[in-house]
Amino acid sequence: MSDNQGSADNYWTKNLRLIGLCLVIWALASFGFAILLRPLVSGIAVGGTDLGFWFAQQGSILVFLVLIFFYAWRMNAIDREFGVDEE
């Protein structure tokens, strides 16, 4: 295996780990807190409603938007690290 192939493998390993992390966080926010864990977080008030309802209506969308910007920021750093960034 050439050094270039090893570098490409490392690049995609980091990329896939980042994608997996973002998907886990998004699933936890949208499916976990909004549906599965709603009875546990229903006593916590956010903006006049309980936390489970807030995640179901707004929280999961806001978490998704934050994850988009986090992914772009982190991928830019990974691209620079492996020399495939845009100049």
Answer whether residue 6 is part of any domain: no
Answer whether residue 7 is part of any domain: no
Q: What pLDDT does 48 receive?
A: 82
Answer whether residue 2 is part of any domain: no
Answer whether residue 54 is part of any domain: yes
Q: What pLDDT does 73 receive?
A: 96
Cα dihedral 33, 39, 42, 44, rounded to 10, equals -70
pLDDT at 4 over 60: yes
> Could you tell me the pTM of the whole model?
0.79
Query: Where would I find the beta strands (DSSP E) of the chain?
Result: 45-46, 49-50
pLDDT at 61 over 70: yes
Answer whether residue 18 is part of any domain: yes
**Over pLDDT 90: what percentage of the chain?**
41
Opening angle at CA 63, ends 42 and 83, nearest 5: 155
Answer whether residue 41 is part of any domain: yes
Pick the more confident residue, 54 or 9. 9
* CA dist., res. 85 & res. 36, Å (int): 40
The residue range of the domain holding 56 is: 12-82
Answer whether residue 3 is part of any domain: no
- For the chain, the domain total comes to 1
